[in-house]
Amino acid sequence: MHIHILGICGTFMGSLAVLARELGHTVTGSDQGVYPPMSTQLEAQGIALMEGYRAENLSPTPDLVLIGNAMSRGNPEVEAVLNRNLDYMSGPEWLAREVLRHRWVLAVAGTHGKTTTTAMLLWILEQSGFDPGYLVGGVPQDFPVSARLGTSDFFVIEAAEYDSAFFDKRSKFVHYRPHTCILNNLEFDHADIFENVEAIERQFHHLVRTVPANGAIIRPAVDPHLDRALELGCWSPVQTTAIGSEADTPKWRAELLKDDGSSFMLLHGEQPIAAVNWNMTGLHNVRNALSAIAAARHVGVTPDHAVAALNRFGGVKRRMELLADVSGVRVYDDFAHHPTAIETTLEGLRNQVGDERIIALIEPRSNTMQQGVHRDRLLDSAGLADRVIWANISRAEWLSELVSGADSGDSTPPRHQVAADIEGLVELVLAEVSRPCHVVVMSNGGFGGIHQKLISRLEEKSGHDG
């Protein structure tokens, strides 16, 4: 079968392309921006990519067109599919029909941490000899591709609440029917899709409705929005997680051995199991680990084996990924696109580096961010950085106004600054760099290639200084 994918360079649709190719289909696809790492992965799989959306991309006529949720009416290729009456469906529906059917699905849902938690759970099962199938909305450091079929009955999937397609406004995860379901957390996001947090709670409730009575739901003990989603109805056993004394009787608990989360003791009930000593930092990653350990236990992996696997976990690209250390200036790439993610990421780094200088370079790029939905929390979320430089690439008036009114003190330069172009951003960072220093670049997009431009200028500056 010839399958053509619209929006093929998105992390989800690109992963579907890999699975379809592994199933033996001929796969082609088009996208408005064909860029690494997904383009590189797809080309290595022998998948033909077409730049831009045109009716001609549908020749020869494919047997099936998978339409990504970024596509809308008016797109010339979408219009051609409809006018020619071609067979089409959403990516999540195809995945459910062709891959997930009759498999034990372990789904990871939540506003934050889905990709990292999915990668952790996948790594635990892989190290335990399961050879699971998987689909991760990112590139795990420990695996060569973002998706594979695997040889076992188990399939690990990152389960997003975003809609399935322009013709199917249900959340993607409603299609997956998990047997083991992690609910990492729940906050308001995706303002382009959801009117309020109650609408998201309703979608999470729809997911909960699909978990069987002999399945398991794993969630943090303290999360009021998840409380409300489950109060709408729950028919499956629920296991809770917590850090320290934040909850009375969690099923799984972590006691921090280091404040930055790089070492903690795992407890099952009140029984100490083993210490996690790994390369990850931040309380958010401790919570991710607890969920992954609990989910792995549900399919038969003992907690001590899960801990041993996590101690060798390599992480995920673009999740506090260290790109370079230029004479004591360390540059990180991070995907944070929500105030909570910004705050928890910087908290983990601050606990790790102590008083060393942190510069946060942040692009509020998501649809929700660009609308200014989180503006009231935005500046405070970066409070642990010594300097914060905001990228206003879209030239949003609200962001410039917010930053210009941020510093009422005598800080020179001001603690919060804004720039509207890549070169200006790089210059502001260079002016603030000292040694040792940690520069965290935060965006859910390519950010105009600023990472390498910044590293190149740092290397040039370091050579001149030396």
Residue 190's pLDDT is 65
Residue 125 predicted with pLDDT over 90: yes
Q: Which amino acid is residue 279, in one-letter code?
A: N
Helix (H, G, I), strand (E, B) or coil at 173: helix
Interatomic CA distance for residues 406 and 269, integer angstroms:
45
- CA distances from residue 423 to 186, 302, 391, 393, 450 in whole angstroms, order as listed: 36, 51, 11, 11, 8
Helical H runs in 311-396?
A: 339-353, 367-370, 375-381
Sign (positive/negative) of CA torsion 414, 418, 424, 430? positive
Record the tokens describing residue 108, joined without a space.
Answer: 């990871």
Interatomic CA distance for residues 195 and 78, integer angstroms:
26
Residue 342 predicted with pLDDT over 90: no
Interatomic CA distance for residues 67 and 88, integer angstroms:
7
Start-to-end CA distance of the chain, whole Å, equals 60
- Residue ranges of domains in the chain, CATH in brackets: 2-90 (3.40.50.720), 102-310 (3.40.1190.10), 321-465 (3.90.190.20)
Distance of CA 79 to the CA centre of its chain: 31
Q: Of the candidates 139, 106, 125, which has an alpha carbon nearest to the alpha carbon of residue 12?
A: 139
189 CB-near residues (< 8 Å, 6+ apart): 111, 200, 338, 366, 368
Interatomic CA distance for residues 381 and 123, integer angstroms:
30
- The overall average pLDDT reported for the chain is 90
Query: Checking phi first, is residue 404 left (phi over 0); if not, alpha (psi -120 to 50) or beta?
Result: alpha
Residue 187 predicted with pLDDT over 90: no
Sign (positive/negative) of CA torsion 339, 341, 345, 348? positive
Lowest mean pLDDT among 275-279, 355-359, 406-410, 432-436: 406-410
Residue 357's pLDDT is 93
Residue 443's pLDDT is 87
- What radius of gyration, in Å, describes the C-alpha atoms of the chain? 22
Interatomic CA distance for residues 189 and 366, integer angstroms:
9
Residue 367 banded pLDDT, cuts 50, 70, 90: low
Whether 80 contacts 60, CB under 8 Å:
no
Query: What is the mean predicted confidence (pLDDT) over 413-438?
Result: 86
Record the tokens describing residue 6, joined without a space.
Answer: 């619209």
Interatomic CA distance for residues 325 and 400, integer angstroms:
31
Residue 334's pLDDT is 86
Residue 132 banded pLDDT, cuts 50, 70, 90: very high
Lowest mean pLDDT among 221-235, 285-299, 346-360: 346-360
- What are the tens digits of pLDDT across the range 26-77? 999 999 977 667 788 898 888 989 999 999 999 999 999 999 999 999 999 9
Residue 78's pLDDT is 98
Tell me the backbone φ, ψ of residue 201, rounded to 5 degrees.
Answer: -55, -40
Record the tokens describing residue 212, joined without a space.
Answer: 């069987």
Residue 429 banded pLDDT, cuts 50, 70, 90: confident
Residue 141 banded pLDDT, cuts 50, 70, 90: confident
Query: Within 13 Å and on the Cβ side, how many CA atoms surround 272?
Result: 9
The reported pTM is 0.80
